A and B are shown apart, each in its own frame.
Chain A
């Protein structure tokens, strides 16, 4: 009997969820259209420009895919750490450190190209993991909140990498002939770059395939292996974990390192794919993709596979925005649209959470 009741209520619940999402997404689009109209532009022009820039014009969706890669990698890492109950918001810095590790390997490692590619990518993971690992270590060694440390380490990362980019023995390009030779790393040689794939007039890097595979791998690991199970237990109830010998410290530290590792991977994939900054590390290399990736994770809400569509939408907004100039709308309007969309997609879960908690509280109160 109780199974009947619960399945009935779950159907009703699912319907409610779909409705809530539809309503709030519609609300966000309406608001966006209003903003566009209020600055004197035509919303359908803007819509078309966004579609042109992200999908329809030749070669555009290849670029969108390229932008989606770092966002998706950052988001996957974020989900890993939140699974265990930790909040990592320093991906921007972890990406930069990862890219710097990758660039260092690329600049100094002799050897055959393919090996260098692999080493650069792995170097990125290690760099990011090292940077978030600092926050993880402080969290468990001295109980410093990881929210603060990860965020503050972003600034430190920028300065460290800036220092590296000023010194030839670290990252600065030794070739004095390079134009604007201030804070640029040497370009990765052609044989150390990820191959690019041509498809229907679009061109994208192998990093798209790599990240897709990694997303599937992590999704599988979290749901189908004991690794994910342990992370969930610790994330949901540390006492239960502790009782059965699942250490909060070990799981938490591992998850934190993996989280930063994926951000670092985002950085090194950006470097070797050449979608950004032409195979060189420069200051501001990460172009806020770390923050955007954080938003992707926020919207995907613990569901690794959901990262794919969300990252694509956000990447589409980004590449589409470069076509807005013709419509007379400031391109940064897409940031507003993006913000509104994030809010819209976050409202339903928040509403559901508050309602569920109220109901649960009412139940508990009536029970005690």
Chain B
């Protein structure tokens, strides 16, 4: 069988190697006007762990979902061992020997491990057989999973192993793991990689490991494909590369086709301003916001912020760089008053603020532009005037009674000042475009003279004009004495706006430097693995 397919395709591929287990040719998928995957070619070889690296939204997951049949490609073809196949749904993929461990667990918590493994089997339920198989696989890969444990009693790392066993039980020749470590501790990740190594070496399977974490890709893989904006931008062998060049490729340089002009515009417009800003605040050394040893844990017990320290001065833009998922969202939630910290303290102008008192931070002058404005920034079904009011209810309600005239007046002023395009104060929030919704958030958060503005990915999803407006506003705010904490995974944004730069890695501040000492390479490296 193998020989047969070898000879049939030997014309096209290198003779010394068997054909790849999976070959994707020009796979494309569009959502509306956006190309999630644009003619992507990829080859997964047997006996190898293939790392697929890229930022969030680079198209990694879409590509993998096409291989497993969860997403149907718009164009291109998939070959298994050199033979073209059609994968319409995950069942097809499963029959062809492709298995996937998803980023989010798909386990039934109330059932035991072996019952979860048995789910999806069509054959007669044979309890002992399945239990033995689980035990066998568990021993073989050093997974230490007990088939009779109830899933709800297992910690996250264990559940990940159950997912892996579930997949391996169907004996796939190709195994895809989508961000498998996002919920794991470093130790758990290492154990997972050790198991994967056995999977490829002892049984000649092909493994695709999707991740945005540089260090683990370097540590665990044999071959790397880097994706950005839906296209493959680099292919290499892991042994031929290093963290430096990977970091460069992943965060992208100005050679990136799509955003060249945009980046240039930004750089030009900020150059002169940066200098004058620097001069203006040479001698200020007064932390308006200070975070000391902040620790937060997710509901599953993973530490998101793990002893995080930070101080923001008045009138500076502090750029916090980092690959997503290193604790940024927890940090923003803490500063939004949406989450209580397990330990550590927040100081505002040297005054300690209790994180248990919701609304306190907002009232004391911590303004926030959240990463996902629909999540915690705006109420879509309320009007623009309502949305502008949250931070200062007295402006619209006197003794608890609505003062429509006053509320509308305030709204009109802000609409004009921030050039918000909408039908008027009563327009429902959902009728505004994304950029204008963002302006409503900006207007509300900054109109009451905040001490601190936390801007999390403030330009994501905005067009060039809106980006320029937003960045201009951030600079003006800093100039007027507001301390700005800019959290972004876009290095260009960080480098062009910030006075000081920090890097967040695994819930800690991994590095801190002045803008002039920061360069793209070292930052990329710090973002990827927390050290230079």
Contacts and interface: CB of A to CB of B under 8 A. Distances in A.
Interface of A: 2-3, 6-7, 223-227, 229, 232-233, 236-237, 239-240, 242-247, 360, 362, 365-368
B488 to A, nearest CB: 18
B401 A224 contact: yes
Contact of B359 (A232, A237, A243, A362): A243
A237 B423 contact: no
Contacts of A3: 422-424, 427
- The majority secondary structure among interface residues of chain A is helix
B391 interface: yes
A232 to B, nearest CB: 6
Identify the 6 closest CB pairs spanning chains A and B, nearest first.
A245-B359, A366-B32, A239-B376, A3-B423, A226-B397, A226-B400
B112 to A, nearest CB: 25
Contacts of A237: 376, 378-380
A45 to B, nearest CB: 46
B362 A244 contact: yes
Contacts of B31: 365-366, 368
B397 A225 contact: yes
Given A6-B431, A226-B397, A245 B380 contact: no
A6 B423 contact: yes
B382 interface: yes
Given A2-B421, A227-B400, A367-B434, A240 B32 contact: no
B34 interface: yes
A140 to B, nearest CB: 14
Contact of A229 (B32, B368, B393): B393
A6 B427 contact: yes
Contacts of A236: 379-382
A40 to B, nearest CB: 49
B181 interface: no
A229 B379 CA distance: 12
B376 A243 contact: yes
Nearest to A248: B358
B400 A225 contact: yes
B151 to A, nearest CB: 21
- The majority secondary structure among interface residues of chain B is loop
Interface string B438-479: 000000000000000000000001000000000000000000
A366 to B, nearest CB: 3
A360 B380 CA distance: 12
A244 B359 contact: yes
B377 interface: yes
A243 B337 CA distance: 5
A243 B362 contact: yes
Interface size class of B (residues with CB under 8 A): 35 or more
Contacts of A240: 376-379, 390
A367 B382 CA distance: 22
B360 interface: yes
Interface string B417-432: 0000111100100110
Interface string B7-45: 000000000000000000000000111100000000000
A245 to B, nearest CB: 2
B455 to A, nearest CB: 15
8 contacts: A2-B422, A3-B423, A225-B402, A229-B393, A233-B379, A243-B376, A366-B32, A368-B34
Nearest to A363: B32
Contacts of B336: 239, 243
B130 interface: no
A227 B400 CA distance: 7
Contacts of A365: 31-32, 34
A244 B381 contact: no
A244 B376 contact: no
B430 A360 contact: yes
B385 to A, nearest CB: 11
B338 interface: yes
Query: Which of B391, B422, B423 lies at the interface centre, i.e. has the most chain A CB atoms within 10 A of its CB?
Result: B423
Contacts of B390: 233, 240, 243-244
A7 B428 CA distance: 12
A363 B298 CA distance: 32
Contacts of A6: 423, 427, 431
Contact of A224 (B337, B378, B380, B402): B402
Contacts of A224: 401-402
Contact of B337 (A233, A242, A362): A242
Nearest to A227: B400
B383 to A, nearest CB: 10
A249 to B, nearest CB: 10
Query: Which of B32, B381, B396 lies at the interface centre, i.e. has the most chain A CB atoms within 10 A of its CB?
Result: B32
A243 B397 contact: no
A243 B422 contact: no
B260 interface: no
Interface string B326-347: 0000000000111000000000
A233 B381 CA distance: 9
B368 A367 contact: no
B205 to A, nearest CB: 34
A367 B461 contact: yes
Interface in B382-414: 382, 386, 390-391, 393, 396-397, 400-402
A245 B362 contact: yes
Nearest to A245: B359
B516 interface: no
Contacts of B338: 239, 242-243
Contacts of A232: 379, 382, 386
